[in-house]
Structure 1
């Protein structure tokens, strides 16, 4: 009896990493992270609905360095995921599908999400 080996599927060690692959993974990760961030928003809204006594510790948590870091990351996650959705919407019209265009859109998604996050925090948090 001969044992036949099954063909192996390609995996990440075989594929060459590309920006579109990284942005695809980041899009999925930010989608998951947005669930956790939305729970923080629900926590804040729930505390606000209960009253000032419940809201104070939540505001203190969000005002701490760790809270600010989490909120900054949540802002980036929301913007990155939204821009990734717009990139996919553009692709739904079969626009930007050429290799150079796909990479340009992926880089634009990353750069724009960083710039917009810094802009939002500059206007609404650091300066305001």
Structure 2
């Protein structure tokens, strides 16, 4: 039988970047399905994912301020989940864009480059801010 402490431990592991990216992917899938027939508002939103996805990445670094989140391996989890989540989210969002052309591929590349930049800057911030002092 699971004790309350083991349940809290599992909950602290489950609350993390993977859960957020799964939620984001689900939202992007719903937006893509709602874009049929094509709507200019949804097309603009889907194209704006190249900026919104890196913005979500910034929010992931707030996990270090949540006390119940497991911090061991969290930076690696953020990197892996973000690279996969951003790729799949951008790919699904850009494929749902109604006017496919060379600009949509550029938006995907720009979104991934911005996401990696945010990961690098955020990682440096976390390493400096949460460095253990001896």
Pick the TM interval, shorter chain: 0.3 to 0.5
For the pair shown, which has the larger CA radius of gyration, 1 or 2? 1
TM-score by length of 1: 0.37
Higher RCO, 1 vs 2 (CA within 8 Å, ≥6 residues apart) = 2
TM-score by length of 2: 0.35
